[in-house]
């Protein structure tokens, strides 16, 4: 099962594709920076990028970080609009959508809900088979979301299993 | 020139199509209520609805109300996500996007930025040739956005005209 994981943004977008078999492998990751321009032109580039990656890697699940309000409300709304366009694109391609809060991601990756970004990024390469060098923060964040998505699927599978008699 | 005008929401969506020739005519309007369900299922229904209306009426412009924060931030984010999915769909269909604040809409429709919803709705049928009965508040709001968009285009055309010599 392949997971498309995204750290959403309209000026920088973290994208990762993880292979979730016995172990968890990183198939692809990048920090996508759309050309500067109108918001709708950036949105179009982001949606096309997502469509291309879905076409190439055929993931069945989208894991995406939920948004919390920041000081800059205008930015928060634009990020929410970008999330909506991505969720719509992924749903149209038949992916199941799973959303994770920053707290859930921190707990899944470091075991502690108040860990800082540095600790999350230190743990990422230990939790996923990764042959490439991860360069950007947004890439780390996308992979961390993918790790959380994989862990959550394991938990749900365990929960869904019939009780031992 | 045809304008697609939208009052965005994920539980109720006001949709209008206006014909902007010498006078302003209402070609279509409705209050679209997607079936209850997961957010992404609703988003999919909304995007399909928008695609169908674009296919049927071939508008070249999308006029859409911008979002301001309400007390319910979770709702505001979901509305922003819906806006993003709609803007993405319209951009992919080649429509130019124009966003209008509630203040701009009130001024365009009633001439006064602090007018209430009742005044806006009383003015709408006076500003647009309309053969159908407008039933829902969301429909009125979408048509008001379309009226604002048409007025804004007239202003921009005037501004773009060369000065008289």
CA distance A27 to A25: 6
Annotated catalytic residue, options A7, A89, A104, A139: A7
pLDDT of residue B68: 72
Say what the pLDDT of residue A146 is: 97
- Cut 0.95: pTM above it: no
For B98-155, give the DSSP string: EEE-HHHHHHHHHS-TT--HHHHHHHHHHHSB--SPP--HHHHHHHHHHHHHHHHHHH
Q: Does residue A139 carry a catalytic annotation?
A: no
Q: What is the pLDDT of residue A120?
A: 92
pLDDT tens digits, B110-127: 999 999 989 999 999 999
Q: Which of B69, B84, B90, B101 should we substitute to test contact with A (largest number of A Cβ atoms within 10 Å)?
A: B84
Mean pLDDT, rounded, of chain B: 91
- B154 pLDDT exceeds 90? no
Looking at residue A158, what is its pLDDT? Answer: 57
Cα gap A23→A127, rounded to integer Å:
9
From CA B157, how far away is CA B149, in angstroms rounded? 12
Question: Which residue in this structure is represented by tokens 């943004």?
Answer: A9
Above 70 in pLDDT, residue B164?
no
Could you tell me how many CB contacts below 8 A there are between chain A and chain B?
71
- So what's the pLDDT on residue A129? 92
pLDDT at A133: 87
Mutation site for B-interface testing, chosen from A42, A70, A84 by largest number of B Cβ within 10 Å: A84
Residues of chain A with Cβ-Cβ distance to B75 below 8 Å are: none
pLDDT score, position B76: 86
Cβ of B47 and A88 within 8 Å?
A: yes
pLDDT of residue A70: 65
* pLDDT reported for residue B101: 92
Q: Does A44 contact B at CB distance below 8 Å?
A: yes
CB of A150 closer than 8 Å to CB of A127: no
Beta strands in chain A (DSSP E): 2-7, 13-20, 24-32, 61-65, 96-100
Joined tokens for residue A64: 């995406």
Look up the CATH number of domain B2-160.
3.30.420.10
Whether the ipTM is more than 0.90: the answer is no
In chain A, residues with a C-beta closer than 8 Å to the C-beta of B91 are 40-41, 43-44
Among A47, A69, A92, whose Cβ lies nearest the Cβ of B73?
A69
Chain B residues with CB under 8 Å of A68 CB are none
Out of A30, A89, A138, A139, the active site residue is: A138
Can A89 be counted among the known catalytic residues?
A: no
Q: Could you tell me if A2 and A19 are in contact, meaning their C-beta atoms sit under 8 angstroms apart? A: yes
A85 touches chain B (CB under 8 A): yes
Question: Is the CB of residue A98 less than 8 Å away from at least one CB of chain B?
Answer: no
User: Which ranges of chain A have pLDDT less than 70?
Assistant: 69-71, 156-165
Residue in the structure block whose two tokens are 């920076």:
A33
């Amino acid at each position: 099962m392949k997971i498309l994981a995204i750290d959403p943004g309209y000026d920088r977008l973290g994208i990762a594709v993880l292979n979730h078999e016995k172990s968890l492998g990183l198939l692809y990751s990048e920090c996508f920076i759309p050309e500067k321009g109108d918001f709708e032109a950036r949105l179009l580039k982001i949606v096309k990028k997502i469509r291309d990656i879905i076409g190439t890697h055929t993931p069945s699940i989208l894991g995406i970080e939920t948004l919390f309000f920041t000081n800059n409300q205008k930015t928060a709304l634009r990020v929410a609009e970008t999330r909506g366009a991505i969720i719509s694109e992924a749903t149209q391609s038949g992916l199941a959508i799973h959303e994770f809060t920053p707290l859930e991601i921190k707990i899944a990756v470091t075991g502690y809900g108040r860990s800082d970004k540095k600790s999350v990024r230190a743990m990422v390469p230990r939790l996923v088979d990764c042959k490439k060098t991860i360069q950007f923060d947004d890439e780390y964040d996308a992979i961390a979301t993918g790790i959380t998505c994989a862990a959550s699927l394991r938990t749900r599978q365990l929960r869904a299993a019939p009780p031992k008699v």
